[in-house]
């Protein structure tokens, strides 16, 4: 890099310079941009998933806690970032990185996101965001319409109304879920006669006024852990996340949900919200939303749908019907940084009733004044970036048809992979893909046949050994493999609800090919023959040999 790139800030003159945008064409900014772009393209084009570097090893580059007295040059810092951070980060864009919900981005997000950074708008209030505010409201309207289909008149009336909100932007699904349950809580324990509402007087007085001994949120046992953060911060208590059992396909059992509600009422605990999941994080299954809506309606309980992952399935004419009933939800969470393919840091919560968010409204004199269009009055977060700009870009550039294709090809690929696993002799599908997520494990057909008829104790011991083998395989693949799948533990009915270690595959990257999937299984087969597993294999054989028919 040339000397003009070597700004350090030890003088006032240099300080001024780093706050001044350099002039094109052969400016510092452009050179820096080019150097970074070249490096990034190199990184993004590499399709390997893991470098064999231990995190403890990497930590050694990040041990100094001294803030430097003598500043470093921009060029030095850039080199440090490229060498020590970029080169040792994860190839989430790789088509063989198929273990997590974080995946590749469409290329245009990278240059467009520079607009957001360069303008540095703050969506907390219109005085610092101007056009970004109506843009954000427009995107909320687009997503609201996708879910609720409320008709042109409705949107013309409420889209830009300063007293109504079709939803809220936030940093992700966690804050979206918290926001939804926050509104549900405040509405369930609203002002009533002398009582000025839970938002004003707190949980203790609210329970006293309403004569209840607690409040609960009901969700299937596959619910995301963000819900337990929500009840914690909302002062309801983690014990009051009531986990309802699922059917063999990881979907909530409405009959058991009803039983839990009845039980809570008997215990004088108010059911605050029912949460349906549209795409569970571990298995991608969708709860029977229509049935949940029926129960919520009959009971007069807030119905929230956590569609952080699966929401965009609505774009698909073929698969959108899986989410039937979502249009009856009081609130819906959608993560844009998952299946809308927008960079990390943006989620949304949509509300059917545009007045619902008024229950969490806050005002301040210098900012977010009453009656203003400042978005900060109805969001959990304060200062927020203009991420809506990137969601808007995705919705326009990819479009409904593009998102439909993305959804459809992901689901087809997941089904294809499930078929490949079934046809193989040595792997077992644990959860069938409903969306583009599936789980499976290494368990040869010969072992499975014995497991079926073995007595429960032998089955349990054999599964314990299989768990250890599968854990080893997943870790080895992560450390040395060309691909990456994640790992979780499920409690399948067929194994008496025993905790079973499984590989989890998320097929979100459109560039993931069948060859890559074939390759994953092949790599795992190779790992199974590792010397390190020999003892476990012998244990398995001994146990099952003795107990085989």
Ligand X SMILES: *Cc1c(COP(=O)(O)O)cnc(C)c1O
Cα–Cα distances in angstroms (integers) from residue 248 to residues 62, 253, 392, 494, in the given order: 46, 10, 38, 8
Of the pair 230, 418, the CB lying nearest ligand X is at 230
Q: Which residues pair with 217 in a beta bridge?
A: 241, 273
Q: Choose one: 168-176, 204-212, 406-414, 430-438; the region binding ligand X (CB under 6 A).
A: 168-176
Q: Choose one: 74-82, 125-133, 167-175, 433-441; the region binding ligand X (CB under 6 A).
A: 167-175
Of the pair 340, 540, the CB lying nearest ligand X is at 340
Write down the least CB distance from residue 101 to ligand X, Å: 6
| 244, 219 Cβ separation under 8 angstroms | yes
Write down the least CB distance from residue 425 to ligand X, Å: 33
| 66, 111 Cβ separation under 8 angstroms | no
Residues in binding contact with ligand X, number by CB under 6 A? 14
Of the pair 224, 291, the CB lying nearest ligand X is at 224
Of the pair 177, 316, the CB lying nearest ligand X is at 177
Helix, strand or coil, per DSSP, at residue 125? coil
172 binds ligand X (CB under 6 A): yes
The number of beta carbons lying within 10 Å of the beta carbon of residue 318 is: 12
Dihedral (Cα; 276, 201, 352, 367), 10-degree rounding: -120
Binding flags for ligand X, 87-106, as an x/- string (CB under 6 A): --------------x-----
Tell me the C-alpha distance between 97 and 470, whole Å.
18
Helix, strand or coil, per DSSP, at residue 168? strand
136 binds ligand X (CB under 6 A): no
Of the pair 135, 277, the CB lying nearest ligand X is at 277
Of the pair 222, 459, the CB lying nearest ligand X is at 222
Write down the least CB distance from residue 223 to ligand X, Å: 8
476 binds ligand X (CB under 6 A): no
Q: Under rule CB under 6 A, which residues in 415-444 are in contact with ligand X?
A: none
Q: Choose one: 169-177, 254-262, 383-391, 507-515; the region binding ligand X (CB under 6 A).
A: 169-177
Of the pair 182, 472, the CB lying nearest ligand X is at 182
Write down the least CB distance from residue 338 to ligand X, Å: 6
Instruction: Pick from 226, 377, 486, 509 the residue near ligand X by CB under 6 A.
Output: 226
Of the pair 269, 277, the CB lying nearest ligand X is at 277
Burial of 203 by CB count in 10 Å (0-12 exposed, 13-18 middle, 19+ buried)? middle
Tell me the C-alpha distance between 418 and 401, whole Å.
26
286 binds ligand X (CB under 6 A): no
Helix, strand or coil, per DSSP, at residue 534? helix
Write down the least CB distance from residue 345 to ligand X, Å: 9
Q: Under rule CB under 6 A, which residues in 309-368 are in contact with ligand X?
A: 309, 335, 347
Instruction: Pick from 78, 96, 121, 174 the residue near ligand X by CB under 6 A.
Output: 174
Is the N-terminal amide bond of 219 cis, ω within 30° of 0? Answer: no
Q: Choose one: 170-178, 402-410, 447-455, 472-480; the region binding ligand X (CB under 6 A).
A: 170-178
The residue at minimum Cβ distance from ligand X is: 173
Tell me the C-alpha distance between 8 and 6, whole Å.
6
Of the pair 146, 435, the CB lying nearest ligand X is at 435
Tell me the C-alpha distance between 390 and 343, whole Å.
8
378 binds ligand X (CB under 6 A): no
E strand or H helix that includes residue 429: strand 427-431
CA angle 513, 530, 492 (to 5 degrees): 65
| 312, 428 Cβ separation under 8 angstroms | no
Pairing type for strands 427-431 and 437-442 reads antiparallel
Write down the least CB distance from residue 166 to ligand X, Å: 20
Write down the least CB distance from residue 331 to ligand X, Å: 13
Q: Under rule CB under 6 A, which residues in 297-316 are in contact with ligand X?
A: 306, 308-309
Question: What is the Cα 182 distance to its own chain's centre?
Answer: 19
What are 157's two structure tokens? 């009336």
Write down the least CB distance from residue 220 to ligand X, Å: 11
Of the pair 277, 340, the CB lying nearest ligand X is at 277
Of the pair 147, 368, the CB lying nearest ligand X is at 147
Write down the least CB distance from residue 258 to ligand X, Å: 23
Tell me the C-alpha distance between 310 and 538, whole Å.
42
Question: What is the Cα 192 distance to its own chain's centre?
Answer: 37
Of the pair 368, 490, the CB lying nearest ligand X is at 490
Of the pair 350, 462, the CB lying nearest ligand X is at 350
Kindly give the interhelix angle for 399-423 and 388-397, rounded to the nearest 10 degrees. 80
| 501, 470 Cβ separation under 8 angstroms | yes
Write down the least CB distance from residue 441 to ligand X, Å: 22
281 binds ligand X (CB under 6 A): yes
- Adjacency order of strands within the sheet including 241-244: 167-170, 347-351, 331-335, 302-306, 269-277, 214-220, 241-244
Write down the least CB distance from residue 309 to ligand X, Å: 4
Pairing type for strands 437-442 and 347-351 reads unpaired
Helix, strand or coil, per DSSP, at residue 286? strand
* Alpha helix positions (H), 237-371: 254-266, 289-299
Write down the least CB distance from residue 182 to ligand X, Å: 15
Query: Which phi and psi (to 5°) does residue 508 adopt?
Result: -105, -25
Instruction: Pick from 125, 224, 260, 392 the residue near ligand X by CB under 6 A.
Output: 224
Of the pair 32, 243, the CB lying nearest ligand X is at 243
Binding region for ligand X (CB under 6 A): 101, 172-174, 177, 224, 226, 277, 281, 306, 308-309, 335, 347
């Amino acid at each position: 890099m040339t000397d003009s790139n070597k700004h350090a800030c030890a003088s006032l003159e240099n300080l001024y310079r780093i706050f001044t945008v350099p002039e094109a064409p052969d400016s510092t900014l452009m050179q820096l941009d080019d150097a970074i772009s070249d490096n990034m393209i190199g990184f993004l084009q590499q399709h390997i998933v893991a470098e064999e570097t231990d995190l403890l090893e990497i930590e050694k580059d990040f041990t100094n806690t001294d803030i430097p007295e003598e500043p470093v040059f921009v060029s030095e810092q850039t080199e440090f970032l490229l060498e020590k951070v970029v080169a040792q980060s994860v190839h989430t864009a790789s088509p063989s990185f198929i273990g997590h919900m974080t995946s590749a981005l469409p290329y245009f997000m990278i240059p467009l996101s520079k607009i957001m950074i360069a303008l540095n708008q703050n969506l907390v209030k219109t005085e610092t965001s101007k056009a970004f505010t109506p843009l954000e409201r427009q995107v909320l309207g687009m997503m609201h319409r996708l879910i609720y289909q409320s008709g042109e008149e409705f949107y013309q009336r409420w889209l830009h109304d300063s007293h109504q909100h079709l939803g809220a932007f936030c940093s992700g699904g966690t804050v979206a879920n918290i926001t939804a349950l926050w509104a549900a809580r405040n509405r369930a324990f609203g002002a009533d006669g002398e009582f000025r509402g839970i938002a004003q007087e707190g949980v203790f007085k609210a329970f006293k006024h309403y004569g209840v001994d607690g409040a609960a949120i009901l969700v299937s046992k596959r619910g995301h852990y963000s819900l337990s953060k929500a009840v914690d911060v909302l002062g309801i208590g983690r014990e009051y996340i009531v986990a309802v059992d699922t059917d063999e396909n990881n979907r909530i059992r409405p009959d058991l949900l009803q039983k839990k509600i009845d039980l809570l009422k008997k215990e004088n605990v108010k059911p605050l919200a029912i949460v349906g999941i549209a795409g569970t994080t571990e298995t991608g299954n969708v709860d029977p939303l229509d049935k949940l809506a029926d129960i919520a309606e009959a009971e007069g309980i807030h119905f929230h749908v956590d569609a952080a992952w699966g929401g965009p399935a609505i774009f698909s004419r073929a698969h959108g019907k899986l989410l039937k009933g979502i249009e009856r939800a009081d609130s819906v969470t959608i993560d844009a940084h998952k299946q809308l393919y927008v960079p990390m840091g943006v989620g949304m919560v949509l509300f059917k009733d545009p007045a619902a968010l008024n229950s969490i409204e806050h005002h301040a004199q210098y900012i977010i004044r009453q009656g203003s269009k400042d978005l900060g009055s109805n969001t959990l977060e304060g200062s927020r970036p203009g991420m809506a700009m990137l969601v808007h870009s995705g919705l326009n550039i990819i479009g409904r048809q593009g998102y439909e294709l993305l959804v459809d090809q992901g689901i087809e690929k997941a089904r294809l992979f499930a078929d490949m696993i079934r046809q193989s002799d040595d792997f077992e599908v644990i959860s069938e893909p409903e969306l583009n997520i599936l789980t499976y494990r290494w368990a040869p057909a010969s072992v499975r046949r014995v497991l079926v008829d073995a007595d429960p104790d032998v089955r349990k011991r054999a599964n314990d050994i299989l768990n250890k083998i599968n854990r080893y395989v997943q870790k080895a693949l992560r450390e040395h493999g060309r691909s990456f799948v994640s790992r979780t533990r499920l409690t399948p009915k067929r194994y008496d609800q025993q905790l079973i270690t499984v590989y989890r595959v998320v097929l979100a990257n459109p560039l993931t090919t069948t060859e890559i999937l074939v390759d994953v299984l092949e790599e795992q087969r190779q790992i199974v023959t590792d010397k390190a597993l020999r003892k476990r294999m012998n244990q398995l054989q001994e146990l099952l040999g003795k107990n085989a028919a």
